[in-house]
Amino acid sequence: MKKVITYGTFDLLHIGHINLLRRAKALGDYLIVAVSTDEFNAGKHKEAYHSFEDRKAILEAIKYVDEVIPETTWDQKIKDVQDNNVDVFVMGNDWEGKFDFLKDYCEVVYLPRTEGISTTKIKNDLHLAK
């Protein structure tokens, strides 16, 4: 079985998230999604609209996702890859090169983002609509 892992906050689920998850799953047989916990987001000075538990439940309901694990630190990726026997690490191409250190442990793939959509854009658009 070929295992794939990706990471993110996955707040305000949108078509860009679905496209990333669908394309990540297509690279293997089993997709693990590591979701930033509320505490980890706070350490990054980032706040999600939905709680970690709600974001986890939403992701678990998506047919492309086989397992959801918490992301609690920047440094857990090597351990996650090793502990879960991951073959492919996937991130959006806005992170290009940032995770190349994982190439010693698995294949690293950077996927193009969906044009014109992001959680930040949604939050900014909603703020303007007030």
Q: How far apart, in Å, are the Cα atoms of 53 and each of 46, 48, 50?
A: 16, 11, 8
Quick one: which of 69, 63, 75 has its CA closest to 18? Answer: 63
Question: Is 123 an active-site residue?
Answer: no
With beta carbons less than 8 A apart as the criterion, state whether 60 and 72 touch: no
Rounded CA separation 15/61 (Å): 15
In the chain, beta strands by DSSP E: 3-8, 30-36, 67-71, 88-92, 107-111
Catalytic residue among 2, 44, 79, 121: 44
Residue among 84, 44, 87 nearest 68 (CA): 84
Looking at 2, 25, 46, 130, which residue is catalytic? 46
Q: Is 2 a catalytic residue?
A: no
Residues marked as catalytic: 44, 46
